[in-house]
Structure 1
Amino acid sequence: MRISRAAVTIPIVVRASKEQFAEALDGATFAEVRRQGKYLLFPFQSGAVMVVHPMLTGRFQYCDPAEKRRAKTAFVLALDSGMELRYFDQRLMGKVYLARNEGDLSAVAPRWTEMGPDAMSPQLTEDLFVQRLRRYRGQVKNVLTKEQCVAGIGNAYADEVLWEAGVHPYRKLTELSDAALGGLYRAMRAVMEWAIPIVAGGMEADGLPDDHYRDHLRVHRKGGEPCPRCGSRVSEITAGQRITNFCRKCQAQ
């Protein structure tokens, strides 16, 4: 698919000038889109790469050009198919970067070279996962959400992974055995393999909604509700604008 015209509509989101954006993408043909951690990579046959970090509220809209633009639409790609690909971000938290080629990613995307392996990468074996976590001494949830350790696990899915593994989110890594960390690795893979088709199926039907797109999660944002595993009340702790949910009975490890 080819881009016939690229336009920036909210410059604060796109870390390139309107002229640079248009020059790089006008006439560009998409290669295979992929994900790296929390980033979406849009490579083009020219070698250029558009990198999108959507954060919490970034969304894409594939639609007819006649359809009314959503509020906070940051850029619009007019496609040779006659459709448009739009990116909107209600809180304007996300960022869009342009690289001349994949080797230039570290120069345009902050801390790109510091990013750990993707949580679902085939190269991230259980042994490597344990080794990477052993570099840190903090609470297990904090480490699990560090992009430098493992890329792609945010606050919500960290709660789910820890619940699946039966590990308390505030347990220090130094208190956990290698066997427990191996169980955490298997829980991470199981949660992702379970959640991805659920989210993908919803997107195919209606696109990713502005809210309720995490209703399938078992404990995150379920404070006060029964634990799906044991029936005990799910605890909720808020610290630094981040909510942590867990079951005190199931996650005693």
Structure 2
Amino acid sequence: MPELPEIANLTRQIHERLPGKQIVDIEVAQPRCLNLPEEAFKAALIGARIGPAHYRGKWIVIHTDRGWLLLNLGMGGEILLVTRASLPAKRRLIFDFSDNTCLSVNFWWFGYAHYAPEDGLEQHPLLGKLGPNALALSEEAFIQRMNGARGRVKDFLLDQSKIAGIGNAYIHDILWLAGLHPLRKIDTLTLPDLQRLYRAIQDGLRPSLELGGAFYEVDLDGKKGGFTFERVIVGYREGQPCPRCGTSIQKIKTGSTSSFICPACQV
């Protein structure tokens, strides 16, 4: 599943390379990914000219002169800038542009392609529930969001309505960097704990962001990200020694998900 580094990278490429392109046709192979009937979705966007893009959590938000195109890859997929001659074999949507390029969108399992009118972005039922992007928060703002929160620290970080963009791929290393157990209750965290956690989010996400995302995801040109498995610290490394203390990394159940932790370093 793409998370903040991968979505931010795709958004940057879209922001740099798509503005000015005009949508002249849309082919829909999976109508259930739309938030409107297919003909209404096409009517809203065919003829639209692409403008700037930004991201909100795991959503790519593209402004056009007719409103907003919103893309979410769900559990994974591809967004590729290609031509009709170089289309991938699998795709759920194709946005054809006037310059004979096209945007091919594929979902491995599920995903979304939504339209929002110009004044309807904040009223979108999914975007409107998202918290701020994880890397956009200052330390002070992050600590303010954590103060008074209840529950377990991992659950809070994965709750997109609290902080958007962190998922199961990066959470293990973030919590290891902070020295925090995923089941630690938020109301037991001290100010130094919160400060370490803020830095851990930065240090856990930015290296992948700078390398174009994880190695198992691709960018707008189909190129894999440069953040390889060798750069992962403890995530998915069950039985291997903790790089800090040498204790074997354990895989434990944390609610509906699993976590990879150092039982000695994370308390």
**TM-score, normalised relative to structure 2:** 0.82
Pairing 1:207–2:223 present = yes
Task: Please list every run of 5 or more consecutive structure 1 residues that lacks an aligned counterpart in the other structure.
Answer: none
Between the aligned partners of 1:227 and 1:26, the Cα distance in structure 2 is 53
Pairing 1:222–2:233 present = no
Decide whether the 8 Å contact of 2:133 with 2:165 is kept in 1.
yes
Report the CA distance between 1:47 and its aligned residue: 4.4
Decide whether the 8 Å contact of 1:97 with 1:109 is kept in 2.
no
Match of 1:162 among 160, 167, 175: 175
Letter in 2 for 1:105: L
2:209 aligns with: 196
Report the CA distance between 1:171 and its aligned residue: 0.7
Match of 1:28 among 30, 48, 55: 48
Between the aligned partners of 1:201 and 1:58, the Cα distance in structure 2 is 13
**Aligned positions of 1:1-253 closer than 5 A:** 1-44=21-64, 46-71=65-90, 73-92=91-110, 94-101=111-118, 103-110=119-126, 112-121=127-136, 124-200=137-213, 203=218, 206-208=222-224, 215=229, 216-239=231-254, 241-252=256-267
Decide whether the 8 Å contact of 2:80 with 2:222 is kept in 1.
no
Decide whether the 8 Å contact of 2:82 with 2:102 is kept in 1.
yes
Report the CA distance between 1:180 and its aligned residue: 0.6
Deviations 1:118-142 (A, max 9, x none): 1111xx2212211211232111100
Structure 2 SS opposite 1:195 = helix
Between the aligned partners of 2:68 and 2:87, the Cα distance in structure 1 is 28
Which of structures 1 and 2 has the larger relative contact order (alpha carbons within 8 angstroms, sep 6+)? Answer: 2
Between the aligned partners of 2:84 and 2:214, the Cα distance in structure 1 is 25
Report the CA distance between 1:99 and its aligned residue: 0.2
Report the CA distance between 1:95 and its aligned residue: 1.8
Structure 1 SS opposite 2:200 = helix
Decide whether the 8 Å contact of 1:14 with 1:74 is kept in 2.
no
Decide whether the 8 Å contact of 1:5 with 1:77 is kept in 2.
yes
Report the CA distance between 1:241 and its aligned residue: 4.9
Between the aligned partners of 1:239 and 1:191, the Cα distance in structure 2 is 20
Sort the Cα spacing of 1:75 and 1:206 in 2 relative to 1 into closer, same or farther, 3 A: closer
**TM-score, normalised relative to structure 1:** 0.86
**Alignment coverage as a number of residue pairs:** 243
Between the aligned partners of 1:201 and 1:176, the Cα distance in structure 2 is 30
Sort the Cα spacing of 1:191 and 1:113 in 2 relative to 1 into closer, same or farther, 3 A: same
Task: Please list every run of 5 or more consecutive structure 2 residues that lacks an aligned counterpart in the other structure.
Answer: 1-20
Deviations 1:24-73 (A, max 9, x none): 221222111211111111111x14111122122132122221235433x2
